[in-house]
Structure 1
Amino acid sequence: MNLQTLPGLFISHGSPMLALDPEQVGPALNRLSLNLPKPQAIVVMSAHWESNALEVSTAIRPETWHDFRGFPPELYEIRYPASGNPELAEEILHLLAEAHLPAHANSTRPRDHGVWMPLLHMYPDADIAVVEISLPMHMNADDIYKIGQVLAPLREKQILLIGSGSITHNLRELAWHGDASQVPEWASTFRNYVVNKLTHHDYDAVLDWSNIPFVQRNHPTLEHFAPLFFAMGTGSRFSVVHSSFSMGALGMDIYRFD
């Protein structure tokens, strides 16, 4: 691989408030971007685009979608005007079709906060084209992992691949008010198990997600964990870029796959 090969990333994007209150993870995302060659384009699988079939955004300039309610007005004023890249989207569709993972073009989907919120901290100038791919609800962990494997060669073209979700995501058990500094054991145990298995390259143990300790408590639904499977497919060398918790039990980890 040449010096310009970019990694695959898993980014925990947390609450929409990350856009206004970056805590520890905003500066970590910014440092990460400064340490990478500037991408030619970015491809993101977001937890917030669940679909029946695998889809790829072919939009030239997707709208910034504020796909949440009940937050401060200034959050709804944020725009992330990065262009799309229809040519790259077509290349992705071709790669997926060749791998017997047929996908559909979607030219109308707006860009959800799982995409624009982390990129706001990484590339605030919004001067890099971004293509979003969906998270198909019918696919299992191995299928999503395979999508990452199929798109992994794009890394050698200076294209940054990102799975955007959250290492833990049980919104009902977060400390929205009061002491947010205490991380519950069920959250830290889950996170530490995943990191341990990835560190020892036991990807199968993570793809066998139903047997991870406390998985149901950390992920009552799987959509925020599944983008990790995509990121795992993009590279075989794992490292932790950042680790922290927000509001008690919301894991904000960033992982790198080379």
Structure 2
Amino acid sequence: MNRLPSLFLSHGAPTLPIDPSLPSAEFGVLGAQLSRPEAVLMLSAHWGTARPVASTSTAPETIHDFYGFPRQLYEIRYPAPGAPDVARRAALLLGENDIAADTEPHGLDHGAWVPMLLMFPDADVPVAQLSIQPHMNAAHHFHIGRALRALRDEGVMVIGSGQITHNLRAADFSARPEDADPRVAEFTGWFEDKLAAHDIDALLDYRRQAPHAALMHPTDEHLLPVFAALGAADDDYSLAIQSLGIYQRTLAMTNYVFGSA
């Protein structure tokens, strides 16, 4: 079996599946371009725990972890089967790398089911979720990814789901694409330059080195999944960037694919 890539996805607003002004179709295009996984291990910004927890649900529920959106959104169900064996394997790999992890049943939050719905609309790819640790830093999540790297040789696609820029307090939900804050492009440009250069040390120190880091991420949780995806990648990974634009003035919709060189 060929080694699968690891991915980072900017999952956007929960309305991504129902709002025609948002780039939902492009996620389907991305999914069609990739080798089909036997299962997905998803690390979403919206499930945070004190230490890693892998979900062993056999039929994970669709969690609508948001408020005030159109009723249509709450009626969506994503009935993909769970991947409890992948969850247990992930917990084992973490333990072998001195990262204590737990297992328990857990559903799919919108950071998990929204991109899965768009990439695998038939809900026929089993998916397990692994929690992030919002109180821990980028290096911690990079090490988690390193521990999970072996999964990519076992038919499992490791996906981090968050947002490459995420400051809702600075967002303007009536903004047009041309109203984008120029500092967003400065941050993403720096980040992508470092990714292309395989400059892991700079990326892990993004909080000090990246332009406008605190503005783009007042808190870390939406960026932490990229470090898990990066850790799961090969040392000499190839980088593919799917740039889908900037929305609500400060939210960049950018996806990264870390493939084998």
Instruction: Tell me if TM exceeds 0.5.
Output: yes
What does residue 225 of structure 1 align with?
223
Is the 1:181–1:247 contact (alpha carbons within 8 Å) kept by the matching residues of 2? no
> 1:35, CA displacement in angstroms?
1.4
CA distance in 2, matches of 1:172, 1:143: 27
> 1:241, CA displacement in angstroms?
2.6
Unaligned runs of 5+ in 1: none
Instruction: Kindly report structure 1 stretches of 4+ aligned residues shifted beyond 3 Å.
Output: 22-25
What does residue 255 of structure 2 align with?
254
Is residue 85 of structure 2 the alignment partner of residue 84 of structure 1? Answer: no
What does residue 167 of structure 1 align with?
164
What does residue 199 of structure 2 align with?
202
Is residue 67 of structure 2 the alignment partner of residue 66 of structure 1? Answer: no
SS of alignment partner, residue 201 of structure 1? coil
SS of alignment partner, residue 162 of structure 1? strand
Instruction: Return the match for 1:44 from 42, 45, 48.
Output: 42
CA distance in 2, matches of 1:138, 1:178: 32
> 1:88, CA displacement in angstroms?
1.4
> 1:209, CA displacement in angstroms?
2.0
What does residue 132 of structure 2 align with?
135
> 1:23, CA displacement in angstroms?
4.2
Where do residues 98-109 of structure 1 align in structure 2 (5 Å cutoff)? 98-107=96-105, 109=106
CA distance in 2, matches of 1:241, 1:158: 23
Which amino acid is 2:257 matched to?
Answer: R
Unaligned runs of 5+ in 2: none
SS of alignment partner, residue 11 of structure 1? strand
SS of alignment partner, residue 46 of structure 2? strand
What does residue 28 of structure 1 align with?
26
Where do residues 209-220 of structure 1 align in structure 2 (5 Å cutoff)? 209-211=206-208, 212-220=210-218
Is the 1:28–1:242 contact (alpha carbons within 8 Å) kept by the matching residues of 2? no
> 1:178, CA displacement in angstroms?
4.4
TM-score, normalization by structure 1: 0.95
TM-score, normalization by structure 2: 0.93
CA RMSD of aligned residues (A): 1.4
Is the 2:134–2:220 contact (alpha carbons within 8 Å) kept by the matching residues of 1? no
Which amino acid is 2:201 matched to?
Answer: D
Is the 1:12–1:164 contact (alpha carbons within 8 Å) kept by the matching residues of 2? yes
Is the 1:25–1:242 contact (alpha carbons within 8 Å) kept by the matching residues of 2? no
Aligned length: 255
Which amino acid is 1:20 matched to?
Answer: I
> 1:194, CA displacement in angstroms?
0.2
